[in-house]
Structure 1
Amino acid sequence: MQTVALIDYGSGNLHSAEKALVRAATEADLNRTITVTDDPAVIAAADRIVLPGVGSFGGCRRALYARPGLVDALREAVSERQRPFLGICVGLQLLADTGLEYGPHAGLGLIPGTVRQLSVSPGQKLPHIGWNDVIAVGHKLIPQTGDAYFVHSYYFDAADPTTVIGSAHYGCAFPAALAKGNVAGTQFHPEKSQAFGLALLGRFMEWEPE
């Protein structure tokens, strides 16, 4: 049985994410244990890792680094052990080199890029809240276009276009999902995206990065 560590650092809709992961594993007939944790030892030893995030880039970053040993454990699992990793919303944004929300903040640098504010059209409001099409490029995690739920004002401006595995549009085109090696993330909330989101979570829990 594989363990999926859902990181608890005081940010993110953990209850909904946990329920969605459990349901996705059940529907995909996968033998997975979903563990909500901030224990560095558990995270370092996990087979797969999910990092949620709700709020500002800087606030989530501070909360993450405030847990002693958590970031080191995450890096050990992801960079050294090459465990599959999924960031959700701000959990994706934290993978960038830099976030520009309320001033520049260093990210984890796992996928090259900068987090910037959406450039909206006149009459469009921020944050972008609601359902939007995700245009897929055929990656194993998102093999086809679907409808997903977003809540965000900032987006991940990828330095390498080949890391973008799904895109959406609100005022401007922006990456809805990215992946590099064993590291992936979604700007949308799969735990709130019904069948499309559950399918993605199920694929993540059996994903074997190349």
Structure 2
Amino acid sequence: MAKKVKKPWQTKDVMTQIYEMNLWGGKDFDFYSGEGSHHPKIVKPYLKAIKTFLKSFEELPIICDLGCGDFNIGKHLVEYTKKYIGVDIVEALIERNKKKFNAIKLDFRCLDLAKDELPKADCIILRQVLQHLSNAEIKNIVNKLKNYKYVILTEHIPLGNFTPNKDLISGQGIRLKQNSGVNILKPPFNFKVKDKKQLDECVLENNKGRIATILFEVF
């Protein structure tokens, strides 16, 4: 009798397990997207910067939050938008968000960013998502970003100089231990932009890198 070949885990399975096992912390929470979405030192200046940007629009923008997680960040931004679309790969998390957060202009969808067609919007928010994904998945996502006018990208990267975009297996960890981080302007992604501006940066204690938020204006 032939042995059954064990199928490799898909990113959806991996991310679902991370939340089920509280691998990003927050054991007292039903779903917890990590300190990057909860620590005041990280969250407060980030929200201030994003709100300032959203207020600069003459008309309220449509925002698509790719990897909205537990929505501890996004819930503060909905009022500054015409429509806010929260997307995540974890089905149970999206169902929870639908029940917990309710507003006419709020829309939650369960999608795989690398495989599925993404919603139309004026601006994309990608907050500490790409850092957990393989280069192949990032490349698929970056290829779709050219369809949007603005992309707000937040990544946890090393202090000082580092080698960008070392590959990893999608999951809980990031590239920091390899002295690497995601830079979508560099190979193998080579994302072309009209302009870029740093909106926020939080330097973490104990040489744990920095969390940088950059606004890209796309051609």
- What TM-score results when the alignment is normalised by the length of structure 1? 0.32
- Structure ID, larger Rg: 2
- As a proportion of its length, which structure holds more strand? 1
- What TM-score results when the alignment is normalised by the length of structure 2? 0.31
